[in-house]
Chain A
Amino acid sequence: MRDLAQETFIHAYGGLKGYRAEIPFGAWLRAIATNLCYDELRRRRRRPEELVADFSVAEAKWLGLINTATPEELVEAAEERREAKVLADKLLATLRPEDRLVLTLQNGEELSVSEIAGIVGWSEAKVKIRAFRARQALRRQAARLVRPRKAE
């Protein structure tokens, strides 16, 4: 969806010369977006297998569970997912903003190093170093948070 929105603006920018002022700009933009959506739907109908590739690892795993697990296992798995998310959010909140940003883009949004570099305006090497240090910091925080209880 985001890609299509971006694609719409790229097409609009490229076609600005052909824009006629008698048509409202919004309607013109919507027509471009609609045509791109139709193109995308036609493409997906031709190659439905690509849709599976759109899912993240976690989403694909969840879909697998939906098809195979018992209802009780599904409830348990959903609870584990929620707990894991709460823990991940708590851990991420302990990081410096730059570190949090890199990890969120890399692991949450599943962007590549070069994509992240493009977004934050750093070199790819800096992104890699930041991500490495952020993961180390995260590991340290996780060890503190989930430290095993001492025997009483």
Chain B
Amino acid sequence: MMNCFETRQEFVSFWRGALDGERRQNLLSHLKGCPKCDRAFRAFALDRADAPS
């Protein structure tokens, strides 16, 4: 199971679709169970919406 720091380190790769199956699944599980990281991801997405991947 990833911790919060590791999860947030993976945001960029996840956004670019560059995470492999297991890492991607770990990240999604963490986001599902961690409201703080979920909020952090949404803030990240808000910022990245128009940025080239």
**Chain A residue with minimal CB distance to B16?**
A75
Per-position contact with A for B23-53: 1 when CB-CB < 8 Å, else 0? 0000110010000001001100110111011
Q: Is the CB of B45 within 8 A of A82?
A: no
Tell which of A66, A75, A81 touches B50, judged by Cβ atoms closer than 8 Å: A81
Chain B contacts for A93, CB-based, 8 A: none
Name A's interface SS: helix
**Interface status of A26 (Cβ within 8 A of chain B):** no
Tell which of B17, B38, B46 touches A75, judged by Cβ atoms closer than 8 Å: B17
Name B's interface SS: helix
Interface size on B, residues (CB 8 A): 16
Chain A contacts for B45, CB-based, 8 A: 66, 71, 74-75, 78
List A46-73 residues whose CB lies under 8 Å from chain B. Answer: 62-63, 66-67, 71-72
A90 to B45, CA, bound (A): 25
Chain B contacts for A74, CB-based, 8 A: 41-42, 45
Q: Is the CB of A81 within 8 A of B49?
A: yes
Q: From residue B31, how far is it (CB to closest CB) to chain A in Å? A: 5
Chain B contacts for A66, CB-based, 8 A: 42, 45-46
Interface residues of B (CB under 8 A from A): 14-15, 17, 27-28, 31, 38, 41-42, 45-46, 48-50, 52-53
Additional 5 contacts, C-beta under 8 A, given A66-B45, A79-B17? A71-B27, A71-B31, A71-B41, A75-B14, A81-B49
